[in-house]
Amino acid sequence: MKTTITHNANQYQFDLSKPLDISIPITSKKDNVNAWYVDSPTIEPHRDKDFVGSIPAGSSTNFYDISFNPHAHGTHTECVGHISAAHQSVNQHLKQYFFLAEVITITPIEEQGDLVITKDQLQKALGNKTPMALVLRTLPNSALKRNRQYSNTNPPYILEDAMIFVREVGVEHLLIDLPSVDKEKDNGALLAHKAFWNFNGEVRLIATITEFIYVPDSIIDGSYFLNLQVAPIENDASPSRPVLYKIE
C-alpha cells in the first residue's frame, strides 16, 4: 500500500506494507536485554487463591501479570520527565507520531578510557541534513544487541557538546541502540540528557529520546519516515515501537 506524504512542501512516497521494525520486545526470558542492575521482566499467570490465569492450568482465559522497568527492559521512549522533579508524562507530551528521519551509523571512539560519540562524528554523518528525528546506529552492530546484559559494562555514550549540536540542528526525537545517551556511572550528571532537553533553559517538552533500539545492517543509512508509537502509560517513559518506512 503506497502512501504519499507532503512535508515542508516536498512530497515523499513510501509503502505501508513494508514496515522496518527497529524495536526490541520485552520478554520473560533471562536473556531479555537488560540494564541498570535490575532483574529480568516477569510475565506470568495471575494468581488469586485457587485461580491461575492460564488455560493450561485450567482457566478459561490466559490472564497474565507483567512486571518490567521501561528504562531497563527493551525499547522505550522517554521525555524530560525522566530527569525532572515534575515527572512529566511522555504519553501527554508526544502528540505527533510520524516524522521525517535520518538513519546514520557511527563507530564510537575512545576518549579517556570510554567509548564516546563526538560532535565531529555527528556533523560528518549528518552533513547539511536537519531531520526532525535522528536514528543512531553504533558499530559494531550485531543481533546480540537484542539480548545484551549492559549492567556494569560502561557502554558508549554521547558527549555533551555532541548532544548540543543534535539539539541545535533541530532534532526533536533521538533514537539510539544503547541503554542510555549518558555514561553508565556519571554521579548523576546526565549531561547529554540535559543538553538534549535544554534542561537549564527553555525546556523542550515535546522532545523525546528512544533507547534500546536495534537497527539491522539490512537497513541502510539514509532518509526514512518514522512511525513512533508508545504504550499509553502515564509515566516519564513507556515501551515503544519505532517503525521505519523507506522513502521511494
As a whole number of angstroms, the distance between CA 182 and CA 203 comes to 18
* pLDDT surpassing 80 at residue 6: no
Residues whose CB falls within 8 Å of the CB of residue 124, separated by 6 or more in sequence, listed in order: none
Mean pLDDT of 23-31: 97
CA angle (140 as vertex; 133, 120 as ends), nearest 5: 55
9 pLDDT tier (thresholds 50, 70, 90): confident
* pLDDT surpassing 80 at residue 114: yes
In the DSSP assignment, the letter for residue 201 is S
Contact 34, 151 (CB under 8 A): yes
Note the pLDDT tens digit of each residue in 171-203.
999 999 999 999 999 999 999 999 999 999 999
Domains of the chain: 2-29+70-246 (3.50.30.50)
As a whole number of angstroms, the distance between CA 205 and CA 94 comes to 9
In the DSSP assignment, the letter for residue 20 is E
pLDDT the model gives residue 3: 80
139 Ramachandran zone, left/alpha/beta (phi>0; psi -120 to 50): beta
11 pLDDT tier (thresholds 50, 70, 90): confident
Q: Identify the burial level of 203 via C-beta atoms within 10 angstroms of its C-beta, where 0-12 means exposed, 13-18 middle and 19 or more buried.
A: middle
Mean pLDDT of 89-114: 97
Contact 50, 34 (CB under 8 A): no
Lowest mean pLDDT among 7-11, 42-46, 89-93, 172-176: 7-11
Give the three cell numbers for residue 183: 555514561
Residues whose CB falls within 8 Å of the CB of residue 169, separated by 6 or more in sequence, listed in order: 126, 130
Contact 73, 200 (CB under 8 A): no
Model pTM?
A: 0.96
* pLDDT surpassing 80 at residue 39: yes
